[in-house]
Structure 1
Amino acid sequence: MDVRRLPPERARRAWTRVGIALAHTARSVRREATDGWSAARRAPRRTVTTGTLAVVSAAALGLIPLLLLPPERPVLAVLEALYAACLIPLRRYRPVVAVLGTGPLLVGPNVWVLALVPLILVSATRRITPPRRAWLAAGVACAVSVVLTAAGSLIVPGPWLTDTVGNAISAVLLVLLPALAGTLLGRRRPLVSLLRERNAYLEQARSLTAAAARMEERTRIAGEMHDLLGHRLSLISVHAGALEMAAARQAPPLAGQAELLRTTAGTAMEELRDILGLLRREEVTSEPEAGRPEAGRGTHEDVAALVAESRRAGVDVELIWSVPDTADPSPRTRQSVHRVVREGLTNVLKHASGAPTRVEVVAVTGTAGEVEVSVTNTAPRSDRHPQPGNRSGLVGLEERITLLGGSFTAGPLRGGGFRVAARLPSRPNGMPPLAVPPPPTNDPTAGPTTHTGTRPPLSTEVLTWPRVLGAGCAAALVVLPTVAFLFLLLAMAVLR
């Protein structure tokens, strides 16, 4: 239609429509460029780097062979290589456009860019949902290649039938088969996501079930301790009070020992209440709350009180405290110091009563805030008969200090004494993760493996591996004819 032969009014309307169409096209191009740049800026650096390397590699694959084997139309071959490189980033953000853009690559003079067509199609079609959109885009790309072949045969006379059949075969092997492989992998993606969500749900359910079971067991233990030990300790405290009053009237020299028995029974009752509260709490490793009895443990006054009680019980004990006030250890560290000193003095009273003992709490110099506590006693007198023990207290101490990130040692000395020592961080950052037991092995030379607690859930890779293997094998079988056809085309291009 010649606009100059139209009436002025119709000509103005026609030019207006053309201007509106051009402006709309320019806005669409600008909007696509802006969206693409924003998506590239929001993408992770690893994704941007991988995409850039892919574009550069695609351009090199299409341009470098042209230097060795010059084509008949070099300018068109170079433009085709650059066009194929531009389709690489589109496969991620505009997969339908990338699939449609592969149609012209099948009829171009640059045979080397045909190796990029299956890769673009597999990567793009697996991102298109639903799959019928991917098949529609692949069909349109094949139709575009056929139309361009027919148009090229009209412009440049030649064996149009041979070219049409060859491009049709290329469309089937380089477009339809990779599209089938991409849709197979695309159907696998929702399944993998569903299995991952299912495994995360099962893992969370397992963790909640284990936590509920632990809480129930601890509540049951707390109830048993309250019913049994609480009653017995209350009777001991009542009888110790009566004994103290009787000793004050009838045997004044024994009044101090009776008072010690009463105060010890009262302290044991308070500690039992603390343990019961600790068992009924959800987190054992939480910080002691302000105002609770355990919040003031591990201080200089608290350790001095433990030493004074041991002296009244007949232990010759000396306290060395060299922790500056500026150190200010955390409540968990101070509570562990209290536990180490109490366990060490209890062991001295049970197994080496009367032996000289030294309690040391020092700040370790040259380290990032550590406290070292030790209880050391010499060999007991030969006339003392130590009580038997099972080392359960030392085992519990070692576990507690290891969880805080410290070190613990306990053992006999060369001269016949015994030493309990621990090195603790003043400000532990957090509890280290519990060690996960290794998986069972089929090696007959390996020792037995012990599993404790609930069994950890299977990893997502194990859950999805059969599906991944099936989809991967199917995609590989589909793409094998494409790979063979590409090798044939490239070999023919080299032999020419």
Structure 2
Amino acid sequence: MSPAVRPWRRMRREAAAIRDAVRAAPRRTVVTESVLTGLVLLCALAPFPLVPPAHPVTASLLGVWAALLVPARRMYPALTVLCCVPVAAGDNAWAMVVVPCVVWSAVRRITPARRAWGVVGASGAGAALVSIAAQSLIGQLPKMPYLAAGAGVAALFILLPALSGLMLGRRRPLTGLLRERNAYLEHARFLTEEAARMEERARIAAEMHDLLGHRIGLISVHAGALQLAAERQAPPLASQAELLRTTAGTAMDELRGILGVLRHHSGEETAERGSREDLSALVADSRSAGADAELHWNATAPADADARTRQAVHRVTREGLANALKHASGAPVRVTFHDEGDTVVVAVVNEAPPVPCSPGDGSRSGLVGLQERISLLGGTLDAGPRPEGGFVLSARIPARPDVPAVYATSSEPVTGGAGSRPPLSTEVLTWPRLLGGGCAAMLVLLPTVGGTIILLIMAVLH
């Protein structure tokens, strides 16, 4: 392969790489870089009619070159810093203003810091040498004030912006590490709270199983014996004894469901809750206990509501029927279910009892619990006496609540692996340290800003 072909092929590979990078970049980045390049080109060439340069062709080429440095800083940061030399040593003051910005942005992308300082040093020395060479070519030896001015320009437009960029570039990974440390601590706190919550729920479940399970089991056994004795000695009471036995069995099943929820075995006893068959069974149990209860199901399709919504419908119906049996014995009770698509409505309405009942000693804790459950699902609960007599308990519940479960545990990993390793020392990762680094980087740029303003004023006056 001839030596002349190798550079050509390398240029083609670089052009293909640039084209692929532009296609892969986000559209917002491409638009932003295009706008910045156009603005730099406009600022470098637009003042020429008002302030004609001494060498228009050279000044125009420097303006175009400065505009090309803007998008190049992303893919070739080290080469971009070196290519700032002709602009910093040229006679286009408007293009020279772009050099600090390009150096500041490009140096942050050069790693490690030793390589960045080498590139910056070579660029500063190159700017000084190019200035000396330009004076020598026109037959003038550079004098000491000119050399001092060239060194000052290299320091203001290359060294100080590079220092600021390196300080901010070092600050960026520290900020990322600080976020990772906070995520680690937050994840550790969440796991600690979840472990404590699980331990407390397991303790409550064990206490309920040992106390209530034993008592309900005894009630079921004695109810079975009472049923057998009633069938032999008092047949009219056999049905009541059987109801007592089946109710005790149902209570034991519900207790197992509650224990499963406490032990995070959710979904075991909620699949059939809130269905038409479930509400019909509740109404049938109340009718067996002597209530005049009936169910009105107003739904054209099977209920496809969330399991928590179906559980809430079951609880509202059961609480309403139990209150009607307790406080309005003998009064007709009507259970109504409406499916409105994104909302379900369940109501338990009882008429006034034929014989006025004395106020019970209820604590209304059942209604308070229902209110809390339905509020967590984003629904509303209404309970109160009717104007014509009786009592109404109704609830409107979203069919598919947007709120997460109260004790839902997230199984998603922490973004970026945060929380998977111990945090760094708090002496390294502190907000004052990061804030101080950012302020110092901005203070370093103040001489550069002042020098830029003076350069532009001199260009206009000249």
Whether the TM-score (by the shorter chain) exceeds 0.5 is yes
Corresponding residue for residue 386 of structure 2 = 413
Q: Shift in Å at residue 433 of structure 1?
A: 8.9
3-state SS of 2:336 partner:
strand
In the TM superposition, 1:369-380 aligns within 5 A as 369-380=342-353
Corresponding residue for residue 304 of structure 1 = 280
Deviates more, 1:203-212 or 1:423-432: 423-432
Please list the CA deviations of residues 229-258 of structure 1 after superposition, one character each: whole Å capped at 9, or x if unmatched.
001101111111122222223333222222
CA distance in 2, matches of 1:399, 1:79: 74
Q: Shift in Å at residue 216 of structure 1?
A: 1.2
Corresponding residue for residue 410 of structure 2 = none
CA distance in 2, matches of 1:248, 1:326: 40
Corresponding residue for residue 117 of structure 1 = 99
Corresponding residue for residue 267 of structure 1 = 250
1:392 lines up with 2:358 in the alignment: no
TM-score (norm 2): 0.88
- Structure 1 residues not aligned, in runs of 5+: 1-15, 435-462
Deviates more, 1:151-160 or 1:86-95: 151-160
Residue 105 and residue 432 in structure 1: after superposition, are their counterparts in 2 closer, same or farther (change >3 A)?
farther
Corresponding residue for residue 74 of structure 1 = 56
In the TM superposition, 1:97-496 aligns within 5 A as 97-158=79-140, 160-161=142-143, 162-281=145-264, 284=266, 288=267, 292-325=268-301, 328-364=304-340, 368-380=341-353, 383-428=356-401, 431=404, 465-496=431-462
Q: Shift in Å at residue 348 of structure 1?
A: 2.1
Corresponding residue for residue 451 of structure 1 = none
Aligned AA for 1:353? S
CA distance in 2, matches of 1:473, 1:66: 36
3-state SS of 1:237 partner:
helix
TM-score (norm 1): 0.82
Corresponding residue for residue 64 of structure 1 = 46
State the aligned residue count: 440
Please list the CA deviations of residues 254-295 of structure 1 after superposition, one character each: whole Å capped at 9, or x if unmatched.
22222211111111011111111121126x5xxx3xxx5532
Corresponding residue for residue 445 of structure 1 = none
CA distance in 2, matches of 1:99, 1:198: 34
Residue 164 and residue 380 in structure 1: after superposition, are their counterparts in 2 closer, same or farther (change >3 A)?
farther
3-state SS of 2:445 partner:
helix
Aligned mate of 2:11, from 6, 17, 29: 29
CA distance in 1, matches of 2:275, 2:88: 82
CA distance in 2, matches of 1:465, 1:347: 59
Residue 360 and residue 478 in structure 1: after superposition, are their counterparts in 2 closer, same or farther (change >3 A)?
same
Residue 135 and residue 428 in structure 1: after superposition, are their counterparts in 2 closer, same or farther (change >3 A)?
same
Aligned AA for 2:356? D
Residue 77 and residue 431 in structure 1: after superposition, are their counterparts in 2 closer, same or farther (change >3 A)?
same
- Structure 2 residues not aligned, in runs of 5+: 408-428
Residue 419 and residue 77 in structure 1: after superposition, are their counterparts in 2 closer, same or farther (change >3 A)?
farther
Residue 44 and residue 411 in structure 1: after superposition, are their counterparts in 2 closer, same or farther (change >3 A)?
farther
Q: Which has the higher contact order (CA 8 A, sep 6+)?
A: 2
Residue 412 and residue 32 in structure 1: after superposition, are their counterparts in 2 closer, same or farther (change >3 A)?
farther
Aligned AA for 2:452? L
CA distance in 2, matches of 1:428, 1:477: 53
Residue 360 and residue 469 in structure 1: after superposition, are their counterparts in 2 closer, same or farther (change >3 A)?
same
**RMSD between superposed Cα atoms in Å:** 2.4
CA distance in 1, matches of 2:392, 2:430: 54
Corresponding residue for residue 424 of structure 2 = none
3-state SS of 2:48 partner:
helix
Residue 399 and residue 156 in structure 1: after superposition, are their counterparts in 2 closer, same or farther (change >3 A)?
farther
CA distance in 2, matches of 1:418, 1:37: 75
CA distance in 2, matches of 1:397, 1:45: 52
Aligned AA for 2:293? V
Deviates more, 1:345-354 or 1:119-128: 345-354
Contact preservation (8 Å) 1:409, 1:420: yes
Contact preservation (8 Å) 1:128, 1:186: no
Deviates more, 1:23-32 or 1:397-406: 397-406
CA distance in 1, matches of 2:253, 2:48: 89
Please list the CA deviations of residues 335-383 of structure 1 after superposition, one character each: whole Å capped at 9, or x if unmatched.
332222112212222333333321101222xxx4432211122344563
Aligned AA for 1:483? V
Residue 77 and residue 351 in structure 1: after superposition, are their counterparts in 2 closer, same or farther (change >3 A)?
farther
3-state SS of 1:295 partner:
coil
Contact preservation (8 Å) 2:329, 2:353: yes
3-state SS of 1:211 partner:
helix
CA distance in 2, matches of 1:327, 1:270: 23
Aligned AA for 1:306? L
Please list the CA deviations of residues 379-422 of structure 1 after superposition, one character each: whole Å capped at 9, or x if unmatched.
44563134333333333333433444444333443445332222
Contact preservation (8 Å) 2:275, 2:303: no
CA distance in 1, matches of 2:315, 2:152: 82
Deviates more, 1:219-228 or 1:137-146: 137-146
3-state SS of 1:238 partner:
helix
